[in-house]
Structure 1
Amino acid sequence: MGRCKERLLGALVLVGVLAVSACDSHGDILVPGSSDSAALDGPTEAKVKKVVRRFQDTNRTPGVLVGIWSPKGTFVSATGVADLATGAPLRADMQFKIASQTKTFTADLVLQLVGEGKVALDDHISKWVTGVPNGDQITIRQLLNHTSGLADGFTTPTVQGKVTTGCTVTELLSAEAKFPPVAPPGTKWSYSNYGYNLLGRVVELAGGQDLSTAVQQRIARPLGLRRTLLPTSGNGLSKPFTHGYGLGDVGPTQAPTTSDDATALPASCLWAHGSMVSTLSDMRRWSRALATGALLKPEVWAEATKNPIPFVFAGHYNGPGKWRYGLGFVESGGFIGGEGSFAGYESTAMYSPARQTAIEVVSTKNPNAITPPPTFQALAMTVYGTDIGFGLTPEQALAPTFTGAEG
């Protein structure tokens, strides 16, 4: 149901405050809970390191980035190598592809435009884009929460055939429109990358600027995200960055080799649903802003968080725990954020407003048997105990269950 392994790339793409806060001297929005704290206590840190080791050793990923920022303490680690060819060590400041965490940015831009009266959640997509299957019945709201019934789009052979060379937006939307819907609008949750590319086009038409510029002017600059962008060419990465591995048939527990390096793949065929790059520190700040509605009007954020939909990804990518989808974000146990996976990279960035805690997990290999979303849950339970509302135990969260097979 929307989460499928592509044999060509050995990859998946989900895949990622109620008032505007005060600004610092640089004009950056200061989001509550942004200050650093002391390190985690010794026993907790030891348990966190054990989770990280298990994640890395089971998946055999070249590199793992993990960040925990909480009132109980801070933990930031970069383990492994950034480049198998040179053996260069992974660093916490390195850029990586965030894949479908891009969707949280696209959704926030749409919701900003809703607050400005330029877009309505009940607009039909046919108002903005022609030629969409069932376009006169599908609403912006349904595109945001994946109940449009549209096909995934990205996993179709037409789009996959262009991934290595690149796509224009017109080519992407035209190709994705040719595949029949998987359900009538509003009847079921079904993950659609196509739906988010349509939302990207809505941002451009309603906001009057290209999507990459909108990300910079409306999100990255106000929040002080220094190395976060939606590329207009190439893969978007700039030094220092980490390589990612996932070409060919690398298995979920198989160590990749230099021939599996997927770093150079261009981003254009992922566009509004998955093309962005960022860093651990930038995504920490973004996760707070996202989870608190910092860039949105209070009434829009209230609507975005109303009645999120329970969902299960194909192959139980998120593990056996409880997950819900709002208007552009995932939620579990009061943590709000995003997740993404594409050839070479898998990640999740989550923030709990109640606990003022951000947790991130990044792998430089795709696919993985233990994926970042349940690993985040295991880390959160390590810090706060099991009574969070995830609907699973730490051992269940760390069970190597994902096979990368179609589901």
Structure 2
Amino acid sequence: MSPETSSEDNGTRQDDLSAFVAATAEEFGIPGVCVGILVDGQETVASYGVTNLDHPQPVDADTLFPLASVTKTFTATALMRLVAEGRVELDAPVRRYVPELELADEDAARRITVLNLLDHTAGLEWNLVFTGDEADTLAGFVAHLPELPLIAPPGTRASYSQAGYNLAGRIVETVTGLPFEKAMAQLLLEPAGLTNTFFDLDEVMVRRFAVGHTPDGDDEQLRPARPWASWRAGARGNNPGGGISSSVSDLLRWARFHLGTGEGVLPAEALRHMTEQSVELNAGPLGDGVGIGWFLREVDGVRTIGHGGSGNGQAAELLIVPGRDFAVVSLANAGPHGHLFNQAVVRWTLERHLGAVERDPEPVAYDGTRAREVAGRYAIDAMNLDVADDGTRLTLAVEIKPEIRAAADADMPADLPPAAIGFLSPGGDEYVVTEGGLTGQHGRFNRDAGGAVVGIDLAGRLFGRVPAAS
């Protein structure tokens, strides 16, 4: 398809986007969605459905959605302002700014840098799971970091880490002398004109906001998800990595900011530096590499930067094409299919407006020998992955660890049942999920120096293999 950015009039663009959004939301069973695109300086927004199945209000461009991990683009940008002002150095050890930092390994605690946090090369596992008053402060979060396993020496590989960004937020606090949320407002949100973007739930609750929805029981009937933003305890302790809420209208402004205006907050050189690849990704759907706060991905020759996020029954996606004055934002209030909705929106808009067609990777035929080699349990702090071989196909199932679920004082997302996966090449270790809520996710099984399978990458996270019980 040829690009249509110059010839398409606003009315046609609005009608086509509205029709696509409505049809796709119905296809995936999403109660409420909002999508915005920026094409050649012109914004088009389409919404569909309601904020809450129990107390419905129509979704619009100003409806607030929790952005979950899209928050990381804000935290990284605020830190880059401190870098541009000479108050933080990317290559400096984190202990220069957070001297109390302790980790499970002293050498890692001494060596880890600010950049390691921002490009996910710190070697920290995904996140901490703990409760109590300390969980509601960044200082308390940092105090518990010695409990977090390390998966690799700092700087040696990328593995997506919420904990790394929460530690980056503590740097913002110590350098500015302000609570993280107030520092973010002063450094970034206010000067960038983001008047509909908040960390404070008290601000969210007096505006129109979307409620997440998750399947209930075997009938898959959607119900409002509780708690509202996330099932993880300690909202403030996780704010730098996933605590912001915003709307499509503000996210389009955020996209314009990163397309080069900087709103007087960041110089163009700092914005450009954020989009440069810092480290290559190890085969996954997040992208080909990581910059500072962004995942970098090439789609049919078009270079993109972006970030997604998923909360409790919520999914967010932001993708920007530097140099093409193009961006797409997609917000959906149901899990797990909200992610699939967002990916369909991104694909449609890239093809329609830039002529960039994203093609799904195709698995090769089932290989029983290789399937038996990788079958087993893999885990991170809060989740188990079970890769199973039944002699005809390989499957992957995801569960929240039973002890985590049992200790939770709120609803948690449903586990994902076994879904088929397949290898992408004969003899290779890359795989793709071909059905279910993770359809299209791909990654790689990891081996040690002796060739034994010791881990699996999924959604940018490294899950270590759990030894089989003797």
TM-score (norm 1): 0.75
Higher Cα Rg, which structure:
2
The Cα of 1:350 is off from its aligned counterpart by 2.5
Question: What are the Cα deviations for residues 234-284 of structure 1, in whole angstroms up to 9, with x where unaligned?
Answer: 465133322322467679x945124x3442767324211111111111111
| Mapping of residues 8-27 of structure 1, within 5 Å | none
Aligned equivalents of 1:254, 1:309: Cα separation in 2? 40
The Cα of 1:229 is off from its aligned counterpart by 2.1
| Mapping of residues 145-184 of structure 1, within 5 Å | 145-153=119-127, 156=128, 158-159=129-130, 167-184=136-153
| Mapping of residues 187-336 of structure 1, within 5 Å | 187-231=156-200, 234=201, 236-246=203-213, 254-258=220-224, 260-263=225-228, 267-292=235-260, 294=262, 295-311=265-281, 316=285, 318=286, 322-332=287-297, 333-336=302-305
The Cα of 1:324 is off from its aligned counterpart by 3.0
Q: 2:324 aligns with which of 348, 355, 363?
A: 355
Q: Cα distance 1:223–1:299, how it changes in 2: closer, same or farther (>3 A)? A: closer
Q: 1:61 aligns with which of 30, 35, 40?
A: 30
| Match of residue 102 from structure 2 | 131
The Cα of 1:85 is off from its aligned counterpart by 1.2
Matching residue's letter, 2:296: E
Q: CA RMSD in A?
A: 3.5
| Match of residue 377 from structure 2 | none
Q: Which has the higher strand share?
A: 2
Matching residue's letter, 1:403: L
Q: Cα distance 1:172–1:72, how it changes in 2: closer, same or farther (>3 A)? A: closer
The Cα of 1:175 is off from its aligned counterpart by 2.9
TM-score (norm 2): 0.66
Question: What are the Cα deviations for residues 197-245 of structure 1, in whole angstroms up to 9, with x where unaligned?
Answer: 11111111122322111221121211211121222xx465133322322
| Mapping of residues 111-126 of structure 1, within 5 Å | 111-126=80-95
Aligned equivalents of 2:327, 2:172: Cα separation in 1? 28
| Match of residue 411 from structure 2 | none
Q: SS in structure 2 opposite 1:370?
A: helix
Aligned equivalents of 2:351, 2:268: Cα separation in 1? 30
Question: What are the Cα deviations for residues 27-72 of structure 1, in whole angstroms up to 9, with x where unaligned?
Answer: xxxxxxxxxx985463x65654454245423432210100112129
Aligned equivalents of 2:344, 2:147: Cα separation in 1? 34
Residues 96 and 237 of structure 1 are in contact (CA less than 8 Å); yes or no, is this contact kept in structure 2? no
Q: Cα distance 1:182–1:235, how it changes in 2: closer, same or farther (>3 A)? A: farther
The Cα of 1:191 is off from its aligned counterpart by 0.4
Residues 173 and 179 of structure 2 are in contact (CA less than 8 Å); yes or no, is this contact kept in structure 1? yes
- Structure 2: runs of 5+ lacking an equivalent: 1-6, 363-433, 442-456, 459-470
Q: Cα distance 1:298–1:72, how it changes in 2: closer, same or farther (>3 A)? A: closer
Aligned equivalents of 1:162, 1:236: Cα separation in 2? 24
- State whether structure 2 residue 114 is matched by structure 1 residue 140: yes
| Match of residue 33 from structure 1 | none
Higher relative contact order (CA 8 A, sep 6+): 1
Aligned equivalents of 2:217, 2:292: Cα separation in 1? 33
Question: What are the Cα deviations for residues 114-141 of structure 1, in whole angstroms up to 9, with x where unaligned?
Answer: 1111111111112222213412111111
The Cα of 1:92 is off from its aligned counterpart by 2.0
Residues 166 and 237 of structure 2 are in contact (CA less than 8 Å); yes or no, is this contact kept in structure 1? no
Q: Cα distance 1:62–1:175, how it changes in 2: closer, same or farther (>3 A)? A: farther
Q: Cα distance 1:75–1:167, how it changes in 2: closer, same or farther (>3 A)? A: same
Matching residue's letter, 2:238: L
Aligned equivalents of 1:312, 1:365: Cα separation in 2? 28
| Match of residue 348 from structure 2 | 378
The Cα of 1:360 is off from its aligned counterpart by 0.6
Aligned equivalents of 2:349, 2:32: Cα separation in 1? 17
Residues 275 and 296 of structure 2 are in contact (CA less than 8 Å); yes or no, is this contact kept in structure 1? no
Q: SS in structure 2 opposite 1:223?
A: coil
Q: Percent identity?
A: 26
| Match of residue 71 from structure 1 | 40
Q: SS in structure 1 opposite 2:59?
A: coil
- Structure 1: runs of 5+ lacking an equivalent: 1-36
